[in-house]
Every structure is written in C-alpha cells, then in structure tokens.
Amino acid sequence: MVAQGVLPNEITLISFLPCLQGQECLTAGEMVHGFVVKLGFDANLPLVNALVAMYGKCRSIASAKELFDGMAARTVVSWNTMVAMYEQNGDGVRAIKFFHRMLSEKVGFDAVTLVSVLSACTRSGALETGKWVHELARSHGLDTDARIGNVLVDMYAKCGEIAYARQAFEGLRKPGVVSWSAMISAYANHGEPEEALNLFSAMKDQAVKPNSFTLTAVLVACGYSGLVDEGLAIFNSIVTDYHISPTLENYACMVDMLGRAGRLVEAYEIIRGMSMQPDKCIWGAFLGGCRLHGNLELAEFVAKDLFQLGSNDVTFYVLMANMYFEAGMLEDAERTRRTMKEMELKKTAGHSLVCTSRERRAIMRPLPNKNQSGGSMAQVLDYDRWQGQRIVVTDAIFH
C-alpha cells in the first residue's frame, strides 16, 4: 500500500496493529508507531490505545506503560488495555494492582475490565480478591453478563471452590462450551469424576459441541474413575463425531489413563499412531506408567531412543534413575545420575501459591543440595495490600 504511494489513515492503522503479536513483531510495531508520529496521528485516542495493546502483545511491557503514562487523555478502554496486557503476559498481581489504581482514580469500569481482573485472579490464585470482584460485578448489575459468568466459573473451578463454580454456572442463561468444560474439569480434578461425566452427558443433551478442552477434562475424569474403555470410546467418538483434532494434551491424557491402568502397550501404540511429534509430557506420562507398574524393560526401550535422539529433559533421566533404584540396580541408577551431572541437568525449581486469610505467597522451592545449609532464606520481591489481603511474592525459599 505504502509502496504504491497510498498513505494509510487512522482507521487503516487501527485495523493493522492487532496483526502484530509476539516479540518478533516488535520492530515492525515500533516502525508503525514512528509512522503514526510522523503523520501527526499520535493525538488520536483509539489509535494510541491500539499502540498500547500492540506493545503488550509484543511483550514490550515497559513501552506500553510509557505510552500509557504519557497519554494526555485516557478512556476506560485505555485502562482496560493495560489491565488485559498484564493479565495476558502472566502478571496477575500487577493487573489487580492496576485495577486498584483505576478505582482510586475513579475512572469507572465495565464488563471487559472485570473479565480481565477475574482472569488475573484465576492466574494468581487470588480467590478472596476474585470473590470481592464478583460482588462488585453483582452490585453493578454486571454479573449476568455471559463473559463474566464464564470467567467466574473458570476462576472458582480452578481455585477449588466447586460449590461457587456450580452456582455461577447455574446462573448462566445459556452456558457456552467454555463454561461446560471448566465445570467438567473442576469435578474431574477434585475427586468427583462421576459428576464430571454426568455433566458431560448433560452437555451433549443440550447440543453444545465439545472442544479439545472438554475432551481433556472428560479423559481426566475417566482416568480417575478407572473407566478406561469408556475414555477410549469418548476419545474416538469426539474425534469422529465432532471432527476435533486431538491436541498434545489430549494424547497425554490418553497415555496417562492407559498407563495408570497398566495398558502400556496400548499407550505406546497410541503414541506411535500420533499425527504429530509427541512432547515431553506424553513421554513423561508413558514412563510414569512404566514406573507405576514396574515395567523397566519397556521404559528402557523408550528411554534409549529418547536419549539417542538427543533429549536432555531432566524428567526422563530422573524417572529412569528412580526406576533403576527401585529395581535394586544401583549401578545403573548411579550411572544415570552421573550422566545428569555431566550434562549439567538440574530439576527446575517448582513454585506454589499458598493462600491464607491474610496472605498469599508465591514460593519457589528448589531441591536442597549438599552445599546448602539448613535454615531458610527469602527475598520478598513485591507486596501489596488489597482488600485486607497481603500479597507477597517470595523467591528462593530453602528448607
């Protein structure tokens, strides 16, 4: 367009900017921003909002905030863009803090705002804050909005509040596939597989088409309840009847379900028949099944291929070392551990969100090593007081 000598207007640029997503598009986005300034469009509020959103989607958080802070005027859309940016980039705490700033500056909010804030609560495990936002939505007549209803079901489900999730689900006039899947997943992951499968049947009765997330939830339910044949039948029926292409997560659930049941050959055949390259979750589920049922021979057969193909995933080495140890093959266990050390493979520190009535902590827990003394060391990175709940992000906790 530009090569033809036709200059874009504001509408053209607003339409084009959402196409730029990911860090690889940042340079192009910066060029468009420069173009906007050169053409004198930098006072156009919708266009500046689109630029802020672009920087967020290109993961240039600092640039987005700098542009937002420099705006002469802002609308609710401007603020919503920032809240959504933090949430979508995995920083739920900052998204919540930004919403707090919105309220303190009396900007106002809408359903779009609350969807992002509730998603941030889901991501960061801030259940009490989520409940407060739910009440805020109710007091402003926004709780009947389908988008808010869907995210409420998801939030309560993922935070383990099944009764609240079901209440929010029942309050939806016409639940969509997202809400059905979230509710099924909640039951499946919290020890109520029969309820999950009953809900799946009700979903089909309501002619709601399942998706790959639904399939994952149903397979988890079947795995927990030992209904392996039913799980296989559901997997095949969803693929054939609804023409859903299974995802890696779907295959991982199938392999895990079969592995737990000791049907390791069937699990291996499913992996061999996949139309895509199996990832570490799938192989990890398979090797986990081998360990559960003591099938060292099959585990060695698979692990040998993985190691020869250059896999340096520490999970596989740890699984094999543990299997050798449990089988009394101490030399092989030590050899595997030695290989890990030579390749400088280490387990990544996990983290947990620990919630109390007064405090929420994100805690990193690396494995202790011989050079670490007892006691504890903690570095507080960030904290905030939010509706009486102290939010603490803590790193490097050793016990």
Whole-angstrom Cα distance, residue 106 to residue 92? Answer: 21
Map out the domains of the chain as residue ranges: 1-73, 349-399
Kindly report the CA angle at 183 between 284 and 93, in degrees rounded to 5? 75
- Helices and strands per DSSP (H, E), number in the chain: 20, 4
The stretch 362-370 carries a mean pLDDT of 41
> DSSP label at 276?
S
pLDDT for position 380 = 32
Whole-angstrom Cα distance, residue 269 to residue 316? Answer: 19
Whether the CB-CB separation of 286 and 259 falls below 8 Å is answered with yes
Characterize the bridge pairing of strands 359-365 and 389-395. Answer: parallel
pLDDT for position 152 = 94
In this predicted model, what pLDDT tens digit does every residue of 99-146 receive, in sequence order?
999 999 998 899 999 999 999 999 998 999 999 999 999 999 998 888
Return mean pLDDT, the chain: 84
Q: Residues 122-153, buried b or exposed e (16+ Cβ, 10 A)?
A: bbbbbbbbbbbbbebbeeeebbebeebbbbbb
pLDDT for position 5 = 67
**Residue 331 corresponds to which tokens in the numbers above?**
């030399």
Helices (H), 190-276: 193-205, 212-225, 228-242, 248-260, 264-272
Q: Please determine, for residue 2, whether its predicted confidence score (pLDDT) is greater than 70.
A: no
Whole-angstrom Cα distance, residue 78 to residue 64? Answer: 11
Q: Please determine, for residue 357, whether its predicted confidence score (pLDDT) is greater than 70.
A: no
In this predicted model, what pLDDT tens digit does every residue of 264-292 receive, in sequence order?
999 999 999 998 999 888 998 999 999 99
Whole-angstrom Cα distance, residue 323 to residue 290? Answer: 9
pLDDT for position 374 = 38
In this predicted model, what pLDDT tens digit does every residue of 154-188 receive, in sequence order?
999 989 899 999 999 998 888 889 899 999 999 99
Grade residue 309 by pLDDT with cuts at 50, 70 and 90: low
